[in-house]
Amino acid sequence: SVRVMGLHAALEPWPVLRVECIICYSPYDLSVRLPRRLYCGHTFCQACLRRLDAVSLEQRWIPCPQCRQSTPTPRGGVTMLDLDLAAFLTLRAGREQPRAAGRAPAEPPAGERLQPARGFPVRPGRFWG
């Protein structure tokens, strides 16, 4: 049997990457509001997940506000949950971009020449002479 996707899903080839927590609407950051992923795949900031962490039947659980699936809290707490890597790398790239924009490309010190890698033949006068 063939399963047909809904029109909405067919029109959006890539999921939208969120840069803010849908609970508190604060942007993710690299300290208190790290984007953490629950077992169901939904992502929320670390601060909100700490508030959701609850004890039930002698076990700590984090109920997902989107799908209600519960994720067992790791022994080290919420900080031991996986990072949403795509969101984290986007944050990190955004933070490093302003620093890199102000720098000129690295050049070898004056008088220093590029040398060929070992094992590659060199013809004098052509590329490395």
User: What residue spans define the domains of the chain?
Assistant: 20-95
* pLDDT per position as a tens digit, 24-71: 999 999 889 999 999 999 999 999 999 999 888 788 999 999 999 999
Contact (CB, 8 A) for 85 and 43:
no
Question: What CATH architecture is 20-95?
Answer: 2-Layer Sandwich (3.30)
Question: pTM to 2 decimals?
Answer: 0.61
- DSSP 8-state secondary structure symbol assigned to residue 77: -
